[in-house]
Amino acid sequence: MNPWWISALAAVLIGHFGLNLAIYNRINATGLPRKLIKSIVYVFFVWTLLFPALMMWLHPETLKGLAAGASSQVSIPLWLWVYGWLCLAALPVFGIPWLLWRPIFGLEWVTAPRTTEVVDVQQETSNPLPLTPRCRRHAALPMNQIFELAVEEIDLPVAGLPAELNGYQIAHLSDIHLTGDVHLDFARYVVDRATAFEPDLIAVTGDIIDERECVDWLETIFGDARASDGCYFVLGNHDTRIPNPAETRQAMEQAGWTDLGCHTLSVSLRNVETSLIGNEFPWFPRTPVDAEDSSRFRLLLSHSPDQFQWARQHRVTLMLAGHTHGGQGRLPLAGPLLSPSFHGSRYASGDFYRPPTTLHVSRGLSGTHLLRINCRPELSLLKLRSI
């Protein structure tokens, strides 16, 4: 056995999986139609599994010859040479940044003290939370945390925060994903906990509705939410799954919430001139922001963390986002792999800072994939701190 060729073949396989993972993450970050995205993802998923089997089936003698060190006597097909080098090139192109941005290294991370209370929401509600056989099967899987809510109280240092807003409290929810698989009591419990925090402001950053019939749940879930400075929301990519997303906006407004998706609002928070900005791009048009705006505090609600650079360009002080679900699962030390973002899993969840913007990304509450491994749903209770 030739160890050099064995190592090269192993590197090709690792590069193959890394390349297709990077494609998956970035395709899901686009504003392409959902059916097209799913078709592309399906093709790449099949290719990810098929390539190793295809090599062993089509070219077993080639692989045996390389493993034995008889490379000079082996004819390697052109397609395998080209794709093999592409996979090797993917290792430094995607692999090095992936390693650098692991949570364990803390690059761009904000040191934000937090206390976490884990709540088994099924024990707090009278109705069974799984509504469908699919959900019941998933909920019974070992290590699945879909109903284990992490209520996280976070002291979040915010660069440039006006002193008057020191201690300002925001309850942040994201990715509600009302699919009809989970009883509305789950989301309602989370909203009730957010309200019990007595926040100054409550924010929801998109992906509220997946199925049209769940629009009728919104009044029950969100109608009792209260915050002294108001409750605000934006929509996300999954909110485009129903024929008319305006129905979701209307139902949330009837429940007492303010739509920031197509607006920038000038408000006063503790006598501080503030711009409340919504960003639902690329699924809806971006909100125009006045270049002459002189507000001392700018708060952005964005569905995707991919708008981080846009936030920085528009002098946003604090940005709240979701969309990435924390990766849906997290490996020890390595952290998340899957993350629908142009940055891969770099901003899958947590607190980050790039001047002049502090970014908080929530793991969200639910999803169409009813599986969470080492990645509990999250209710973020933020206490802003001046630094």
Q: Which CATH architecture has domain 105-386?
A: 4-Layer Sandwich (3.60)
Cα separation, 250 vs 103, whole angstroms = 39
Q: Is there a contact between 215 and 209 (Cβ–Cβ < 8 Å)?
A: yes
User: Alpha-carbon Rg of the chain, whole angstroms?
Assistant: 23
Parallel, antiparallel, or unpaired: how do β-strands 297-302 and 148-158 relate? unpaired
Quote the CA–CA distance of 277 and 263 in Å, as a whole number: 7
What gap in Å lies between CA 63 and CA 66, rounded to an integer? Answer: 5
**Predicted local confidence at residue 99, as pLDDT:** 92
Residue among 365, 49, 68 at smallest CA distance from 193: 365
Angstrom distance (rounded) from CA 257 to CA 278: 14
Residue 289: predicted pLDDT: 80
Distance of CA 128 to the CA centre of its chain: 27
To the nearest 10°, the Cα dihedral for 44, 50, 52, 58? -130
Q: What percent of the chain has pLDDT over 70?
A: 93
Low-confidence ranges of the chain (pLDDT < 50): 1, 58
State the residue for tokens 């390693």.
99
Residues 181, 136 contacting (CB under 8 angstroms)? no
- Domain ranges in the chain with CATH number 3.60.21.10: 105-386
C-alpha 354 chain-centroid distance: 18
Cα 66 from Cα 43, distance rounded (Å)? 29
Q: What is the pLDDT of residue 231?
A: 98
Spatial separation of the C-alpha atoms in residues 134 and 182, rounded to whole Å:
10
Please tell me the predicted confidence (pLDDT) of residue 1. Answer: 46
Q: What angle do CA 209, 215, 219 make, to 5 degrees?
A: 115
Residue 177 host element (H or E): none
- Position 107 scores a pLDDT of 93
Read off the pLDDT of residues 78-137 as tens digits, 9 standing for 90 and up: 877 898 899 999 999 999 999 999 999 999 999 999 999 999 999 999 999 999 999 999
Spatial distance between the Cα atoms of 380 and 203, rounded to a whole number of angstroms: 10
